[in-house]
Amino acid sequence: MSGVRLLPTEFESEGETIRGDFVLPMGDGPFPGICKFHGLPGGADQVSGLSTRLAEAGYAVLTFDFRGFRRSGGLFSLEGEILDARNAVTHLIDSEHTIEDWVGVYGASYGGAVAICSAVRDERIKAVSVRAPVSDTLRFAESPMVKPTVDELVRVSPNEIHGLADPVIQKELLTKMIEDGKIYNPIDEVDEISPRPLFILTGSADRDIPVEGVRRLFDSAKKPKEFAVVEGADHNLSNPDHYAMTCQLVLSWFQEAYPQ
């Protein structure tokens, strides 16, 4: 990570301790700030890649584990993540690293849903970029694919999401996902982001979040908005070229939203 500074940080969110990192440009700030929201569960390394690219370009990035994930306390819920997102924006603005009047957010997959739902409720967020977002949180929560996916996650990475290996807690988490999806749903809310700019991108080979659903989300949004498809890219951006292309698209868009 040459050319950037990494500072571990934590903040409180409705009684839960949320742990993460500031990924910062070299030199003196303050800088425009971007909060980065991971997916479900997202990768354990939220610092490398896009966060570093943004910091190298002059943005102060706050990346963290939502409640119920990895280093942070509590149990997962969509409602809780939206609260965490708001408190993350506060933590970023209150830090000495950022300017006070501009914050952007970036979210991938389930984190994309959080980015949209939190921006609708937080006018301090001035620009929203999402990749392969869950466009309909209720439909996602009710999908018959959720339980097998959870079972596989418990088998492979049981510590990624707190309590998931406990059948009782797991059932409560999945039930809460459905309940929250009835209240917080990007497809019903995305039009409220306007007049702030919105960028939605996805991969043409994404089998987890099909491009058709992402396109419907984009069509539901109001201007200003942009849409991009990375040809051949899957959900996890497993091809390094697709990952690099996605990072460049996101960076270029943020540079238009807040020129350096």
Using 50, 70 and 90 to split pLDDT, how confident is the model at 260?
Answer: low
Q: Flag whether 33 is in a domain.
A: yes
Number of domains in the chain: 1
Helix (H, G, I), strand (E, B) or coil at 42: coil
Residue 259 has pLDDT above 80, yes or no: no
Contact 26, 3 (CB under 8 A): yes
Residues 6+ apart with CB under 8 A from 52: 1, 4, 23
Residue 99 has pLDDT above 90, yes or no: yes
What range does the domain containing 28 cover? 4-135+186-257
What are the pLDDT digits (tens) for 21-49?
999 999 888 999 999 999 999 888 889 99
Structure tokens at 89: 């924006």
Q: Flag whether 170 is in a domain.
A: no
Mean pLDDT computed over 110-120 = 98
Mean pLDDT computed over 159-177 = 94
What are the pLDDT digits (tens) for 15-25?
999 999 999 99
Q: Which contiguous run of DSSP H or E holds residue 211?
A: helix 211-220
Among candidate residues 24, 34, 21, the one with its CA nearest the CA of residue 70: 21
Give the relative orientation of helices 146-156 and 167-181 as an angle to the nearest 10 degrees. Answer: 140
Q: What is the CATH number of the domain that holds 124?
A: 3.40.50.1820
What are the pLDDT digits (tens) for 170-204?
999 999 999 999 999 999 999 999 999 999 999 99
Q: How many CA atoms lie within 13 A of 224 on its CB side?
A: 10
Can you say whether the dihedral through the CA atoms of 161, 18, 33, 6 is positive or negative? negative
Per the prediction, the chain carries an average pLDDT of 95
